[in-house]
């Protein structure tokens, strides 16, 4: 088996090579928005599952961007390579891949991963019948489950600080969080907001809310996740827990989540890609909303809990 070929092109592109199981004639393009723990976990889980399905490392063309405007260019490159399928991680990656395939008049299916609201993102007509040569996995957040965990672990929390970017996925989840607080007045919750436009803004945004909030809550937001270690330190110094949208964000210092296991999401995405390469039209495959098929497990970061002085001795879930 050939090792995955890595090369840096432009603003941090990672290349490998690609082809499906069986005769090894297919190539799989992998498009990733940027490097951070969640997205790297998805990619590695995807590759591991593909290998278990019989694919080899020389079947992948892997491109990782910097979180900026390089997605369309990299998607266009994959289309120009005439890969057999594009697996696109995140909403911006999926939108770029689908747009570039359409612009080229190509017949390349797109299988997305970690798209929080693919309908709102304009990628599919519905979760059950996508309406195009596209399907994938959604990391939509079970907002009610995260708030239930917050009530269990930190029952005195009333005001949440929402730190978010304007990524479509983050905006969608923040709308759900606001709606939950508005529609459940019995809990006495309120919120304050701090929006960011880049990873560099996250620290200042968090600091702007310190002293006014009892806890932070963040979505599956790539911009925020990329600065999670810095954000977590601000929160720990202030004695404020961060409830996150993903397990990987807890590993990076967040306090707790009832969110998505990105290893499982990456593996599920691989199974969809395999079905497409095996001849099933992408439009026939419903979008897999992960928390609906694999209910989220509560997860806590023990070191963060200790630093915050929060007792988790009775916690039933996964402890990092």
**What CATH number does residue 42 fall under?**
3.40.50.2300
- Which 3-state string (H, E, C) describes 255-297? CEECCECHHHHHHHHHHHHHHHHCCCCHHHCCCEEHHHHCCCC
Contact 317, 301 (CB under 8 A): no
Count of structural domains, the chain: 2
* Closest by Cα among 4, 14, 38 to 222: 38
**What was the pLDDT predicted at 6?**
31
Range of the domain at 134: 8-139+262-286
Q: Is the pLDDT of residue 169 over 90?
A: no
Alpha carbon distances (Å) from 152 to 147, 149, 292, 311? 9, 5, 22, 11
Shared domain for 76 and 170, answered yes or no, is: no
Q: What is the C-alpha to C-alpha distance for residues 84 and 107, in angstroms, rounded to an integer?
A: 9
Inside any domain, residue 1: no
Does the residue 113 lie in any domain? Answer: yes
- Chain-centroid distance of CA 180 in Å reads 21
Q: What is the pLDDT of residue 23?
A: 43
**Which of 14-18, 141-145, 245-249, 303-307 is predicted least confidently?**
14-18
Count of Cβ atoms closer than 10 Å to residue 102 Cβ:
14
**Do 156 and 25 share a structural domain?**
no
Which pLDDT score, from 0 to 100, does residue 7 have? Answer: 30
Task: At 217, list the tokens.
Answer: 């809550």
**What is the tens place of the pLDDT at every residue in 295-317?**
888 999 999 999 999 999 999 99
In a domain, 223, yes or no: yes
| pLDDT value at residue 9 | 31
Residue pLDDT, tens place only, 1-31: 333 333 323 333 443 444 344 446 899 999 9
**Together in a domain, 268 and 178:** no
Residue 44 in any domain: the answer is yes
Mean pLDDT of 233-246: 97
Which tens digits make up the pLDDT trace of 42-83? 999 999 999 999 999 999 999 999 987 899 999 999 999 999
What is the spatial distance between Cα 136 and Cα 265, in angstroms, rounded to a whole number? 10
22 and 65 fall within a common domain? yes
Predicted local distance difference test score (pLDDT) of residue 69: 84
Q: Note the helical H segments in 53-167.
A: 71-80, 91-104, 143-153
177 and 308 assigned to the same domain: yes
- 253 sits in the region (left: phi over 0; alpha: psi -120 to 50; else beta) called left
From 212, 218, 142, select the one nearest 180 (Cα to Cα). Answer: 142
pLDDT at position 24 is 62
Same domain, yes or no: 14 and 131: yes
Q: Is there a single domain that holds both residue 121 and residue 159?
A: no
Which is nearest to 157 in space by CA: 193, 182, 181, 183?
Answer: 181
Shared-domain flag, residues 243 and 219? yes
C-beta separation of 87 from 46 below 8 A: yes
pLDDT of 168 above 60: yes
Number of Cβ within 10 Å of residue 165's Cβ equals: 26
In a domain, 3, yes or no: no
Pair (225, 148) in one structural domain: yes
105 with 22, same domain? yes
Q: Got the DSSP string for 155-211?
A: TT--EEEEEE-S-HHHHHHHHHHHHHHHH-GGG--EEEEEE-SSGGGHHHHHHHHTT
52 CB-contact burial (10 Å; exposed 0-12 / middle 13-18 / buried 19+): exposed
Q: Is residue 2 part of a domain?
A: no
What average pLDDT does range 94-118 have in this prediction? 97
Q: How far apart are CA 130 and CA 112, in angstroms?
A: 12
Same domain for 224 and 280: no
pLDDT for position 8: 29
Whether 300 and 172 map to the same domain: the answer is yes
Q: 318 or 68: whose pLDDT is higher?
A: 318
pTM, 2 dp:
0.85
């Amino acid at each position: 088996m050939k090792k995955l070929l890595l090369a840096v092109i432009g603003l941090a592109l990672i290349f490998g090579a690609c082809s499906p199981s069986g005769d090894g004639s297919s190539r799989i393009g992998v498009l990733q928005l940027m490097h951070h723990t969640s997205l790297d976990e998805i990619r590695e889980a995807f590759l591991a599952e593909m290998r278990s399905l019989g694919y080899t490392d020389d079947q992948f063309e892997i491109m990782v961007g910097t979180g900026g405007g390089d997605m369309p260019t990299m998607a266009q490159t994959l289309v120009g390579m005439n890969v057999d399928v594009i697996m696109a991680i995140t909403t911006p990656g999926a939108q770029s891949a689908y747009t570039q395939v359409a612009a080229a008049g190509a017949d390349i299916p797109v299988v997305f991963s970690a798209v929080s609201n693919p309908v709102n993102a304009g990628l599919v007509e519905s979760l059950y019948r996508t309406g195009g040569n596209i399907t994938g996995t959604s990391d939509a957040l079970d907002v009610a489950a995260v708030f239930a965990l917050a009530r269990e672990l930190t029952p005195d929390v009333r005001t949440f600080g929402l730190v978010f970017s304007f990524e479509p996925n983050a905006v969608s989840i923040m709308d759900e969080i606001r709606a939950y607080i508005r529609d459940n007045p019995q809990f006495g919750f309120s919120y304050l907001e701090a929006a960011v436009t880049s990873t560099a803004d996250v620290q200042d945004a968090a600091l702007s809310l310190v002293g006014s909030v009892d806890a932070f809550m963040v979505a599956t937001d790539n911009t925020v996740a990329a600065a999670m270690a810095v954000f977590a330190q601000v929160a720990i110094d202030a004695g404020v827990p961060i409830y996150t949208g993903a397990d990987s964000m807890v590993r990076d210092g967040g306090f707790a989540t009832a969110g998505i296991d990105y290893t499982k999401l990456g593996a599920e995405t691989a199974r969809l890609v395999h079905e497409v390469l095996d001849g099933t039209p992408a439009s026939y495959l419903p979008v897999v909303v992960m928390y609906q098929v694999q209910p989220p497990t509560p997860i806590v970061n023990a070191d963060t809990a200790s630093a915050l002085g929060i007792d988790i001795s009775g916690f039933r879930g996964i402890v990092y």
